[in-house]
Structure 1
Amino acid sequence: MSDLSTVVEKPVDDLHTGWTGRVVGYVAILILVNVMVDSVLASPTFVLPELSKAFHTSQFAWIGSSAMLAGAMWAPLLGKSADINGKRKVLIVTLLVACLGGLVCLVAPNLGVFVAGRVLQGAAVAALFLTVALIRDICAPKFAMVVTGIVTCGSAVFGIVTPFVLEFALGIFGWRVVFVVSAAFAALATVFVRVVLPETRDRSPGRVDVTGALVLGAGLAGVLVYISLGQVFGWLGVVPLLVLVTGLAALNFWLFVLSRTPEPVIDIRGISVALGLGLLVVVMGTGAYQSMLQLFSLLIEVSPDDGLGYGIAAPAALGLLFGIPSIGIVLGGILAGAFATRIGPAWTLAAGVVTGVAATLIMLVAGAANLPLAVVSSFMLSLTAGSLLTSGFNLASILAPPERQGTVSSMVMVMVAIGSVTMNFIGSAILGANRITVDGETVNSSFGVHAYIAVAGAVFVLATVPTVFLVRRMRGHVVTGAPVSHI
């Protein structure tokens, strides 16, 4: 079936086509849900040293990605369940599981229990794509694109003040306050979603292939865990290789056996070329962005006066590099949503990729040792992040029927998780392989830092290839009514 089509259809009467008090209330609640997601994924990174001491481990950095790893495992199951049982109902279950995970982390007596809590918190990752799927049930297609940009990126506004608030709270209550906050946000969001949001209008008949979802999730988690553990325990270590082999075996079993059942958790045979290209752009673009974000946190710890060829440490560096980008994410998401109604999400996705290429080029040329240029690059990358996330969800939403929004949106979230985890640890491996000793201290080399940036930039450049094909394939696709299924 062709991916090029124009549909003119009168929107369903009960879909909102503009801003009303009720829509503003819905959007506020969905943003609250995504603030909870941010508290699960980002806030623990502020207390990694404290967590390392509390659980007596020196290999704790990978725990920062544990919830995202678990999110990749949760997403297919929850996406399919949402299409069949109702998006609001599944979102409530997701929020309750994330709340339980926060409480488990809060009282965890040892590392094993803490990791189990983070796995439960990983369900919060599904909450993000479920908010997008709900938007399609509430708003008409064109208006939904604008609302998607606001909901997916609006929570970044809280990222401006979060570091300062957490710094104050940590000084008083310690690291456990992070999980008190995430559990409280999850509980509060559960109440508002249950009381205010309407139930799903579109559902698909069928059953949830729980076995297939678990096998697929286990396979994804196994491969991603290997990527995250390989640098710590050795790429050829017994445990990492065992995890990798198990993950690959699970993926192959799902691909050649379980995906061919009448109702697979994800029907990969029915994914259109356009959606496949969009998912490829998302996995590459978000991965490159996340790896650059990780690098900024390393650069602000090094002074340019050390003569290493990189370093942007300064009194205001933390706020400039992590506060201003929060504004950029919001702006990028809102602009992508607004322009998508005129030119289509494929073009806004392309704009995000091009911006990412330019931002990494600035860092490669001089930004690694120049704070003002690094701030410019960071802001541009935040625009990229907002644009990619919003455009990815918008593209998926117009290429799927209403009753498949949960499943297709979950694919986008899986791509985000895979890209983020993979590129973060590839970047860490590059730095680890190029460390040098200066005055008796082991530090990252200038070559390693610039190779790190070059790899991220190369991934952005590679992402332009599927982007070009996507734009050409979507040429002439106009969203003027109900979405058209290409799945």
Structure 2
Amino acid sequence: MASPAPISAPAPAPTGGSDGPRARLAVPVLAYCGTLMAVMQTVVVPLLPDLPRLTGASPGAVSWMVTAPLLSGAVLTPVLGRAGDMYGKRRVLLLSFALMALGSAVCALTSEVGLLIAARTLQGAAFSVVPLSISILRDELPPERRGSAIALMSSTVGVGASLGLPAAAMVVQYANWHVMFWVTAVLGASGVALIRWAVPESPVRRPGRFDLTGALGLSAGLICLLLAVSQGGQWGWGSALVLCLFLGAVVALGLWWRQQLRTPEPLVDLRLVSRPRVGLAHVAALLTGFAFYANSLVTAQLVQAPEASGYGLGLSIVQTGLCLLPGGICMLIFSPLSARISAARGPRVTLALGTVVIAAGYAVRIADSRALWMIVVGAAVVAIGTTLAYSALPALILCAVPAHQTASANGVNVLMRTIGQAASSAVVAAVLVHHTGLVGGAPVPTLHGYLLAFGTAGVVALLASAVALTIPGGSEPETARPADGGTRAVGDGVMEGA
């Protein structure tokens, strides 16, 4: 039996932040950093068709410039979240953003595909920016400002992705491709400086020993799982390599789960995760991530399809990015509405409503995916629903966990979204591959395949809504019971007995 966790002093109460001029800039600075993180994710997309020629590498090799940050981000987000709870959220936020800027600088200096992939792996650390920032906002802002700030922070993921694609496409079209990475390196360095200047360090900590064994076990399991999911279509779902990766993920994550339950200071508090208010929020995050990602993924391919297909518009990558831009603007506009709904009805209602709106957006796409204006409207409706849902998810976590565990809990929630996005990419690719026709002698997905992908994402969105409605209500944080059934402090002065 694991030894009882030591009784620690209650974590300091949230300070409500400073009223100084710099402290008032903390919210826009963090929103800027979240937007830039999302831009970093998308800037290589316009480059992918030309990267084999520019680097002398195979298409399969350059595709790792997209896969590598997803893998490292999935691994590092919960790890850096836990480190933020222990050592200081601002300190870890600075580290993750500095790694992103360094990765951009390396990409700007080289055309060697191995170094490019390694640099993009470094950039994956920036995935932790949003959960760390949300945790800082919880600790520093008064309750009346907290909801709108967290909603804005959550919307930066979609806003940055919508801005990054057309901006990067224009840079690639009119300048040397290295310029794009110089721009993101400079913006990243400015983000580091702004964080140091305007963002205060949170006083809420959970000191203890970092669970290195747990971090390694989770990393091994997630790498096996996400490699199998993201590369299964290319390597073959029935291939020995993919099957071994899935088996390795099951074994590694099973051993990790057992180790987490036995260690006194785990990387992820699984007893807290197993509570319905926390666990169901993570399930909803996975389903919402799946439903959201199909929007940009499928829309970009559909509008670029040749006109000879009978449905495609033959748009350039710049025009494609501009089609997605209204959705990003809608996310920015509707983020305050999410905070108001959550304040009036609770975040689970906001989440349920948001995922229903996502499904409605896909219904619009199924109704008409030939007219450009209908495509833009449908994509914007999905974006609005995503804003409502993504803004509600961190609010659910903040209501359900102690203050000293917000960064790690939000990190796990972001991880679940990432797994959902990876699964969405794999499912959409499988659907489109199995529904293709020849256009000019080249295989092109059929309109039926695109509509089936939209329908699948819509059904998953409705499942996410159903899960959201089953999340128990309440505003008091969940507390975790020690392995020995005793009593210990779990944060904010809350005690739980046997």
| TM norm. shorter chain > 0.5 | yes
Letter in 2 for 1:134: I
Structure 2 equivalent of residue 213 of structure 1: 215
Q: Give the distance between the partners of 1:433 and 1:156, measured in 2 at CA.
A: 29
Aligned residue among 94, 97, 100 for 2:96: 94
- In the other structure, the counterpart of 1:384 is 385
SS in 2 for 1:369: coil
Residue in 2 that maps onto 1:41 = 41
What amino acid sits opposite 1:484 in the alignment?
Answer: P
Q: Distance in 1 between matches of 2:157 and 2:295?
A: 20
Aligned to 1:452: 453
In 2, Cα distance between equivalents of 1:13 and 1:215: 33
Superposition deviation, residue 113 in structure 1: 2.4
CA distance in 1: counterparts of 2:184 and 2:333, whole angstroms: 25
Q: CA deviation at 1:214?
A: 2.1
For residue 301 of structure 1, what is the amino acid of its counterpart?
Q
Question: Would you say the 8 A contact 1:361–1:457 is kept in 2?
Answer: yes
- Aligned partner letter, 1:423: S
Distance 1:12 1:204, change over 3 A: closer
Distance 1:361 1:282 in 2: 21
- Native 8 Å contact 1:51 1:175 kept in 2: no
Give the counterpart of 2:125 among 119, 123, 126: 123
Contact 2:260 2:270 in 1 (8 A): no
Superposed displacement of residue 353, structure 1: 0.6
Q: Partner amino acid for 1:302?
A: A
Q: Please point out which of 94, 113, 116 is paired with 1:114.
A: 116
Q: How far apart are residue 335 of structure 1 and its match?
A: 1.5
Q: In the alignment, which of 131, 134, 139 is matched to residue 132 of structure 1?
A: 134
Q: 2:272 aligns with which of 270, 273, 283?
A: 270
Deviation by residue 1:130-168 (Cα, 9 ceiling, x = unmatched): 111110111123421111112232575566655554344
Deviation at 1:418, TM superposition (A): 0.6
Deviation of 1:71 (Å)? 0.8
When residues 40 and 163 of structure 1 are mapped into structure 2, their CA distance, relative to the original with a 3 A threshold, is: closer
What one-letter code is carried by the residue in structure 1 that aligns with 2:47?
A: V
Quote the Cα distance in structure 1 between the aligned partners of 2:84 and 2:14: 23
Instruction: Say how many residue pairs are matched.
Output: 465
Secondary structure (helix, strand or coil) at the match of 2:205 reads coil
Q: For 1:281 and 1:336, how far apart are their aligned partners in 2?
A: 17
Quick one: distance in 2 between partners of 1:14 and 1:464? 34
Check conservation: 1:333, 1:389, Cα contact below 8 A.
no
How does the TM-score come out when normalised to structure 1?
Answer: 0.88
Q: Aligned partners of 1:385, 1:13: CA distance in 2, in Å?
A: 29
Partner of 1:6: none
Deviation at 1:22, TM superposition (A): 4.5
- The whole-number CA distance in structure 2 between the counterparts of 1:63 and 1:277 is 32
1:7 maps to which residue? Answer: none
Partner of 1:64: 66
- Give unmatched runs, 5+ long, in structure 2: 1-11, 481-498
**Mapped contact 1:77–1:265 kept (Cα < 8 A):** yes
CA root-mean-square deviation: 2.5
Change (3 A) 1:397 1:67: same
| Alignment match, 1:5 | none
Measure how far apart 1:24 and its partner are.
3.6
For residues 204 and 409 of structure 1, what CA distance do their matches in structure 2 show?
15
- Following superposition, the deviation at residue 350 of structure 1 comes to 1.0
Report the alpha carbon displacement of residue 87 of structure 1 after superposing the two structures with TM.
Answer: 0.4
Structure 2 equivalent of residue 287 of structure 1 = 290
Counterparts in 2 of 1:159 and 1:430: CA distance versus 1, 3 Å: closer
CA distance in 2, matches of 1:162, 1:323: 9
Aligned: 1:374 with 2:375:
yes
Equivalent position of 2:485 in the other structure: none
- Structure 2 distance, partners of 1:237, 1:107, is 37
Give the direction of change, closer, same or farther, for the CA distance of 1:285–1:332 in structure 2 (3 Å limit). farther
Instruction: Give the 3 Å change call, closer, same or farther, for CA 23–389 of structure 1 in structure 2.
Output: farther
**Higher mean C-alpha displacement, 106-115 vs 81-90:** 106-115
Write the deviation string for residues 384-407 of structure 1: whole angstroms up to 9, x where unpaired: 221222111111111111111111
Which of 302, 305, 311 is residue 305 of structure 2 equivalent to?
302
**3-state secondary structure, aligned to 1:262:** coil
Give the whole-Å Cα distance in 2 for the aligned partners of 1:36 and 1:205. 30
1:432 is aligned with what amino acid? V
Per mean C-alpha deviation after superposition, the further-off stretch among 282-291 and 172-181 is 172-181
Question: Which of 183, 186, 192 is equivalent to 1:184?
Answer: 186
| Partner of residue 166, structure 1 | 168
Contact 2:217-2:256 within 8 A present in 1 as well: yes
Alignment of 1:325 with 2:327, yes or no, is yes
How far apart, CA to CA, are the structure 1 residues paired with 2:309 and 2:252?
48
Deviations along 1:31-89, one digit per CA (max 9) or x if unpaired, are 22113202221111121123232232122445324312211100121011111101011
The one-letter amino acid of 2:478's match is S
Q: Partner amino acid for 2:130?
A: L
2-structure distance, mates of 1:237, 1:42: 30
CA drift of 1:329 comes to 1.6
449 and 405 in structure 1: CA distance in 2 versus 1, 3 angstrom threshold: same
| Deviation for aligned residue 1:217 | 2.0
Q: Classify 1:254/1:12 alpha carbon distance in 2 versus 1 (closer, same or farther; 3 Å).
A: closer
Deviation at 1:341, TM superposition (A): 1.8
Distance 1:74 1:231, change over 3 A: same
